[in-house]
A and B are shown apart, each in its own frame.
Chain A
């Protein structure tokens, strides 16, 4: 249960970190809080030759509101969000999600960028930030690009990150006052990885809704225009119009063929819709 030996570098700034990653002739892995990578290293499921520690990079430990979005550095922790050490642009939605991730000792070190990069389908931020319509800045030595959350996760533990690329910032749009938010997950033990996640950001006055069905075996199902889940029309009575059959079909199309699993996912989504409508 001890990791295989690895080399370790702690670059002084982002440019130096990217240079190390870009030049690495060996298998290199970035570590932030290490709350996902640490267990994998200890279990020797992953044996990189070089670990690049980015927790010293001040650039990644910042959070600020820029116009109508929140820009979060990748090394902001779940506890930073839970405790309100960052500006709140989602009317408490992110705070609620953060406070229920794993355990406090994990939240004190686990980072948003690390969780996203790890791309575990059952991780909260994958689903929550997809529903919130977040985008990510990915950077490598030659520059930066921006991807939407729904394009970033491509499968179980697989993200759109290329070699030498790092999640730099997370951009979360401010939630309009007229929008409703619901987030629910099912865990058999408090703090464990979820078996099902449902998230919804719905704005009846604008007739828009983003719905996410997460913690399936692969990338979350992101429905950017979720009118079909509400009988084709998004209005104030949406929670009565929620059509569980459509959610069931979406899950079946995504490859969840076990009816009991689909039932759990649909029930959890229903709970999120109810929470949004409460």
Chain B
């Protein structure tokens, strides 16, 4: 716990809170100021908007500990505020609220627009309110209310303040943090335990067929005959060793392989543990791996399917890969499926390089030991060490989605 000293609605407060306590929870739970509402908790809906050093800020993604010395104004602190008083009357008149959940944040943002906008331009007001979601009114009444207050104030010769009154540089709320004179230190939490629970993989139910949400098709060429490549694909341990971040958690059997794969996109890391079933068709040198895995930490699940077919070419073997997957849970909510797709494409590129090295008898140890570290791997490692191979790699990203 940290002792946090700041001003809330012109009252000095000194209260201890965990560093992870956001400003919204701080005012609600510690000060009983429940007018600040919490909606999405990741900065999208605007319900939690408060004034921080006089300007609007998202209190759900601002940690109270980072607001040392700041002046916080919640909706309760705007009772006597001139602009908010006018806005309240206008909201009432224009039916600018129904359930009221968005209203405290809406008023804080509306007040900011009234102060800053030179005139009651409907488009600018709508753009200005785009960060505050209302699911009841359809915004028409809200926009009208804000317009009317701006018009009334400009008619009374009250000039706009384009900067909202802010004169110093840096994040709102950070202005006074240097004056406390001492480093603020909160001791570390114990190291996160990431031990893998043995029952995870075996608790995976039967591996069923599924229709993937995303399919990536890629192909690459390795300078080795198809028979040799097909034989390697039968060696599950060898295949796993070529896949960055992959490891086996139990001795592989042809019908069931248990393992884990660790992936990373920037600061996001996930370890999917699970099981896979393997099918092979020597007649046309093709095969299929169907798997299911869970990341305990983010409570995300993935189903994946890799189909491959080996085609002889003049240079050796062309490996046609079709990779399909469905991601559910927290990671899927990031809402950026293209980043996940980019990662999968990178994973395949690295896999192909390792496969080639392994077939050539070069030790892939240095490449396989590391987890897939996003583009750094592709740009650094690949460019430097297997530049020749990259030239032969052809990709067909996107595929069917």
Please report A residues at the B interface, Cβ cutoff 8 Å.
1-12, 16, 26, 29, 31-35, 37-51, 53, 55-58, 60-63, 73, 75-77, 79-80, 83-86, 102-106, 108-111, 118-119, 121, 154-158, 189-191, 193, 217-219, 255-258, 261
B125 to chain A, nearest CB (A): 12
Contacts of A103 in B (CB 8 A): 46, 109, 130-132
Q: How far is the CA of A158 from the CA of B374 in the complex (A)?
A: 7
Tell which of A60, A108, A190, A255 touches B345, judged by Cβ atoms closer than 8 Å: A255
Contacts of B267 in A (CB 8 A): 29, 37, 40, 45-46, 48, 157
Contacts of B185 in A (CB 8 A): 8-9
Tell which of A45, A80, A106 touches B169, judged by Cβ atoms closer than 8 Å: A80
Contacts of A38 in B (CB 8 A): 22, 42-43, 58, 60-63
Taking a contact as CB atoms under 8 Å apart, the answer to whether B298 and A44 are in contact is yes
A44 to chain B, nearest CB (A): 6
Q: How far is the CA of A220 from the CA of B18 in the complex (A)?
A: 38
Contacts of B379 in A (CB 8 A): 154-155
The segment from B94-102, B319-327, B391-399 that touches chain A is B391-399
Q: Check B183 for interface membership: any CB of A closer than 8 A.
A: yes
Tell which of B18, B127, B162, B170 touches A83, judged by Cβ atoms closer than 8 Å: B162
Taking a contact as CB atoms under 8 Å apart, the answer to whether B169 and A77 are in contact is yes
Residues of chain B from 208 to 255 with CB closer than 8 A to chain A in the complex: none
> Given that A2-B20, A12-B182, A261-B398 are contacting pairs, would A35 and B58 also be in contact in the complex, using a CB cutoff of 8 Å?
yes
A99 to chain B, nearest CB (A): 10
Contacts of A62 in B (CB 8 A): 169
> Given that A108-B52, A155-B379 are contacting pairs, would A61 and B170 also be in contact in the complex, using a CB cutoff of 8 Å?
yes
Contacts of B57 in A (CB 8 A): 105, 108-109
Interface residues on B, range: 35 or more
Residues of chain B from 39 to 78 with CB closer than 8 A to chain A in the complex: 41-44, 46, 49, 52, 55-58, 60-63, 65-66, 68
Taking a contact as CB atoms under 8 Å apart, the answer to whether A109 and B171 are in contact is yes
Please report B residues at the A interface, Cβ cutoff 8 Å.
2, 18-20, 22, 25, 41-44, 46, 49, 52, 55-58, 60-63, 65-66, 68, 109, 112, 126-128, 130-132, 162-164, 166-174, 177-178, 181-189, 191-192, 265-268, 297-298, 330-331, 333-334, 336, 338-339, 341-343, 345-346, 373-376, 378-379, 395-399, 401
A59 to chain B, nearest CB (A): 10
15 CB < 8 A contacts A-B = A2-B22, A4-B189, A34-B61, A42-B22, A45-B331, A53-B65, A58-B178, A77-B169, A77-B170, A83-B162, A85-B166, A108-B171, A156-B374, A157-B339, A158-B376
Tell which of B162, B188, B397 touches A26, judged by Cβ atoms closer than 8 Å: B188
Taking a contact as CB atoms under 8 Å apart, the answer to whether A217 and B330 are in contact is no
> Given that A35-B43, A38-B62, A104-B56 are contacting pairs, would A16 and B341 also be in contact in the complex, using a CB cutoff of 8 Å?
no
Q: How far is the CA of A37 from the CA of B22 in the complex (A)?
A: 13
Contacts of B297 in A (CB 8 A): 44, 47
Q: How far is the CA of A217 from the CA of B42 in the complex (A)?
A: 22
Taking a contact as CB atoms under 8 Å apart, the answer to whether B18 and A75 are in contact is no
**Closest 8 interchain pairs by CB?**
A155-B375, A157-B266, A103-B131, A38-B61, A8-B19, A55-B174, A39-B42, A61-B170
Question: Assuming A75-B171, A118-B266, A155-B375, what are 7 further A-B pairs, CB within 8 angstroms?
Answer: A8-B2, A9-B186, A26-B191, A73-B169, A83-B166, A86-B169, A105-B58
Q: How far is the CA of A56 from the CA of B182 in the complex (A)?
A: 11
Q: How far is the CA of A255 from the CA of B374 in the complex (A)?
A: 16
Taking a contact as CB atoms under 8 Å apart, the answer to whether A4 and B192 are in contact is yes
Q: How far is the CA of A37 from the CA of B298 in the complex (A)?
A: 16
Tell which of B52, B169, B170, B183 touches A16, judged by Cβ atoms closer than 8 Å: B183
Q: How far is the CA of A119 from the CA of B112 in the complex (A)?
A: 29
Tell which of A10, A39, A55, A118 touches B43, judged by Cβ atoms closer than 8 Å: A39
Taking a contact as CB atoms under 8 Å apart, the answer to whether B177 and A10 are in contact is yes
Contacts of B182 in A (CB 8 A): 12
Chain A CB within 10 A, most for which of B44, B181, B333, B338 = B338
A73 to chain B, nearest CB (A): 7
Q: How far is the CA of A98 from the CA of B379 in the complex (A)?
A: 30
Taking a contact as CB atoms under 8 Å apart, the answer to whether B20 and A3 are in contact is yes
Contacts of B187 in A (CB 8 A): 7
Contacts of A156 in B (CB 8 A): 265-266, 339, 342-343, 374-375
> Given that A44-B298, A104-B109 are contacting pairs, would A7 and B374 also be in contact in the complex, using a CB cutoff of 8 Å?
no
Taking a contact as CB atoms under 8 Å apart, the answer to whether A10 and B192 are in contact is no
Closest to B65 in A: A8
Q: How far is the CA of A83 from the CA of B398 in the complex (A)?
A: 40
Taking a contact as CB atoms under 8 Å apart, the answer to whether A43 and B2 are in contact is no
Tell which of B56, B68, B378 touches A108, judged by Cβ atoms closer than 8 Å: B56
Tell which of A34, A46, A255 touches B395, judged by Cβ atoms closer than 8 Å: A255
Taking a contact as CB atoms under 8 Å apart, the answer to whether A218 and B41 are in contact is no
Closest to A102 in B: B131
Chain A CB within 10 A, most for which of B169, B192, B330, B396 = B169
Taking a contact as CB atoms under 8 Å apart, the answer to whether A49 and B189 are in contact is yes
> Given that A104-B109, A106-B131 are contacting pairs, would A4 and B20 also be in contact in the complex, using a CB cutoff of 8 Å?
yes
> Given that A118-B266, A119-B266, A190-B127 are contacting pairs, would A105 and B342 also be in contact in the complex, using a CB cutoff of 8 Å?
no
Contacts of A31 in B (CB 8 A): 63, 66
Taking a contact as CB atoms under 8 Å apart, the answer to whether A55 and B169 are in contact is no
> Given that A40-B267, A108-B172 are contacting pairs, would A45 and B334 also be in contact in the complex, using a CB cutoff of 8 Å?
yes
Contacts of A108 in B (CB 8 A): 52, 55-57, 166, 171-172
